[in-house]
Amino acid sequence: MSYSCTEILDESIKLELLVSDLYMLFYHSFPEDADFWWKLSLEEKNHAALVRSIRDIFQSVSGLPESMFSSSAEDIKNTNLRTGSLLETFRNAPPSRTEAFRIALDLEESAGELHYQKFMTDHLHEKINEVFKQLNGEDKNHAERIRSRMTRSGIEVKTEQ
């Protein structure tokens, strides 16, 4: 089955949020490690927000090339199903502390999380730089277009004093 870049990113966002929820469950289950799990949970939420922003930026600017993705949506979906199942199980009976750490490590080494890391390190910096350059250029263009529109509309363009 073939998936679009948007579907892969949507699944990636879902994964980051599910992992965040799992870490929050660990936060509540293991007071001795609460700060650790809290921080990881927040970082996963931040990852989700960043992936969402990237998806939205690239959809509006130029789209995302398929070559940027090392994992398939199917791999990420499978990890999402597994993580959702773990959440349901552990809401009723939290794992041992050791099991929680092992599960977390396994998830962080899963296709979806590794995909996120690879995506962020291999591709994002050059693409984001390109987008920000374009956005900066468009901002300059916005000012020029506003001035032009004001002039055409008979609105005085005042200079800063």
Size (the chain), residues? 161
Residue 142: half-sphere exposure toward Cβ, Cα within 13 Å? 6
Place of tokens 């870049």: 5
Place of tokens 């041992």: 96
Q: What is the CA radius of gyration of the chain?
A: 21
Q: Which of 99, 92, 107 is nearest to 17 (CA)?
A: 107
Q: What pLDDT digit, counting tens, does each position of 116-159 carry?
A: 555 555 555 566 556 545 544 544 454 565 666 768 778 787 76
Q: What pLDDT digit, counting tens, does each position of 69-98 carry?
A: 555 778 888 989 999 999 999 999 999 999
Q: Where are the domains of the chain?
A: 5-123
69: region left, alpha or beta (phi > 0 left; psi from -120 to 50 alpha): beta
Q: What's the pTM? A: 0.68
The structure tokens listed for 124 are 């994002």
